Amino acid sequence: MKSIRVLIVEDHNVVRQGLVALLNVVEGIDVVGEAADGQEAIAQIRRHKPDVTLIDLRLPRLSGVDVIERIRMESPQARFVVLTTYDGDEDIYRALKAGARAYLLKGMTSEDLIATMRAVCEGKSYIPPAVAERLAERVGAQELTPREFDVLELIVHGNSNREIAAELDVSEATVKTHVNSLLGKLGVSDRTQAATAAIQRGIVPLESLRRTKP
């Protein structure tokens, strides 16, 4: 039987090397390459054309979702398995919408990981029950408008309504309207809860918190 050619994308060196060591001793799996950031991942995928790419979501230079989207625009048949610590419903939704065939959390067993990669190589998809439950919550939730997302991101960064109004060049009354709307859609009662929900669900990526406050 032909071996499955796998490429591993993981920015934490110890974790990446552990995955390489694990998969290299599995019969029927060949690790053909590895990458530590999103830009390198794209270059390695283009070079090696793996059967399956095992990829984390949070990567330097380019996110895992961006990598999946770009590669699948070039090669719709490309297969991705997300392996991450992030279980926010928005993270899951974005990854699967981008074209990932499976979404796994890093606490899973090596046996489940290997079985999932083999299934994906055969053209199947796999979503663990806990992940499927979070995805169902996301699918049933109301979508934030682009402007509501902008307001929420600024709330996460600690901006007041006045500061948000200045940043977006709108009135404070307009900001209040957006805030009230997004509170209802998120099912929370105040700005603090909205910021917490935004981070926990992956609506506002943690990387964005590095941005300096306006």
pTM of this structure: 0.71
More confident position, 80 or 195: 80
Average pLDDT over residues 148-163: 89
CA distances for 85 relative to 15, 55, 120, angstroms:
12, 11, 20
Nearest partner of 108 among 128, 135, 93, judged by Cα: 128
**In CATH, 4-139 is 3.40.50.300:** no
Whether residue 140 is predicted with pLDDT greater than 90 in this model: the reply is: no
Average pLDDT over residues 19-39: 93
Task: Order across the sheet with 80-84: list the strands.
Answer: 29-35, 4-9, 52-55, 80-84, 102-105
Fold of 146-210: Arc Repressor Mutant, subunit A (1.10.10)
Which class for 32: exposed (0-12), middle (13-18), buried (19 or more C-beta within 10 A)? middle
Give the E-state strand segments of the chain in sequence order. 4-9, 29-35, 52-55, 80-84, 102-105
Q: Where are the domains of the chain?
A: 4-139, 146-210
Whether residue 90 is predicted with pLDDT greater than 50 in this model: the reply is: yes
The pLDDT assigned to 199 comes to 79
